[in-house]
Amino acid sequence: MMSYQGHFRVWRGDASGGRLKDFQVEVHDGEVVLDVVHRLQATQAPDLAVRWNCKAGKCGSCSAEINGHPKLMCMTRMSLFTPEDTVTLTPLRTYPVIRDLVTDVSLNYRKALDIEPFTPPAGLEPGRMRMRQADVGRSQEFRKCIECWLCQDVCHVIRDHQDNKPAYAGPRYFIRHAELDMHPLDTLDRRQALREEQGLGLCNITKCCTEVCPAGIKITDNGIIPMKERVVDHRYDPLGRLLPSWRRR
Ligand code: SF4
Ligand code: F3S
Ligand code: FES
């Protein structure tokens, strides 16, 4: 097995402050960044705080910034770097640091509570919820989300303007709205809330969220843009507003 001494620069600290610290850690063929972080914990920094769970790109826990790019550490191969490169690991920039690579992402769970749940027609009997495959496919894409928060981290609307946080649901929740709004049996009209409470208008379609999504969800093209169109139709098309919502789907 080939191995080398890799150069790593890891942010160490907590809410009161911190700094980048240099380490040399052994790297083996076929490893991902999280493997090296575990070796660093095992050999030199047992108190290094890092979140992880599945090591398979499915739990969304190991999000961090690798050389400034929001990524999953368990899905980032060390073969992307040369032995001469320095790999810099920092916590998600958009959220407050708890310690080292662990951030407080609880804001996202509070945002989830603002979304009205799936609301099928009253009295719909079990087993009567038939859907066309095309409708199933549309919401299935959004349900691949692993809640890694990389899209929320990269979106400049809150990354560069922290004061927007209270008024901005962010890309993960725009696709949650899209998933519900595109469901043929959901009876709620979510467009007004999206515009007035969730900040959809602040998104200016930079598509950075789509670029970082490890689940490959086309957040902007399949979720945000259609929802923006629906919001505009609702606001500026008086005839459309007179039709029941299921007729417009
Ligand atoms: Fe992560 Fe993609 Fe879900 Fe955003 S939409 S939280 S990037 S999986
Ligand atoms: Fe942000 Fe994605 Fe819109 S990165 S600006 S939510 S397209
Ligand atoms: Fe689960 Fe990385 S450890 S996504």
DSSP string, 103-162: E--HHHHHHHHTSPPP-PPTTPPTT-----HHHHHHHHHHHT-----HHHHH-HHHHS-G
CA of 213 to the centre of ligand 3 (A): 13
Q: Residues with beta carbon inside 6 Å of ligand 2?
A: 154-155, 157, 171, 203-209, 220, 224
| Token pair belonging to 95 | 């959220």
Q: Which position has the token pair 């550490």?
A: 73
Q: Which ligand is nearest to the CA of 56?
A: 3
Q: What is the pLDDT of residue 236?
A: 64
CA of 58 to the centre of ligand 1 (A): 11
d(CA 159, CA 157): 6
Q: What is the pLDDT of residue 243?
A: 55
Q: What is the pLDDT of residue 129?
A: 77
Residues 6+ apart with CB under 8 A from 233: 240, 248
Q: Residues with beta carbon inside 6 Å of ligand 1?
A: 145-151, 171-172, 175, 212-215, 217, 219
Q: What is the pLDDT of residue 238?
A: 58
d(CA 70, CA 150): 6
CA of 165 to the centre of ligand 2 (A): 14
Question: What is this model's ipTM?
Answer: 0.99
Identify whether the C-beta of residue 150 lies closer than 8 Å to the C-beta of residue 93: no
d(CA 231, CA 227): 6
d(CA 183, CA 187): 9
81, with CB counted inside 10 A (0-12, 13-18, 19+), is: middle
Ordered per-residue pLDDT tens for the chain, 249 residues:
699 999 999 999 999 999 999 999 999 999 999 999 999 999 999 999 999 999 999 999 999 999 999 999 999 999 999 999 999 999 999 999 999 999 999 999 999 999 999 999 998 888 877 888 988 888 899 999 999 999 999 999 999 999 999 999 999 999 999 999 999 899 999 999 999 999 999 999 999 999 999 999 999 999 999 999 999 876 666 555 555 554 445
Residue nearest to atom 4 of ligand 3 (CA): 57
Identify whether the C-beta of residue 224 lies closer than 8 Å to the C-beta of residue 162: no
Q: What is the pLDDT of residue 235?
A: 65
Q: What is the pLDDT of residue 135?
A: 87
Q: What is the pLDDT of residue 136?
A: 87
* Count of Cβ atoms closer than 10 Å to residue 122 Cβ: 6
| Token pair belonging to 158 | 């809150």
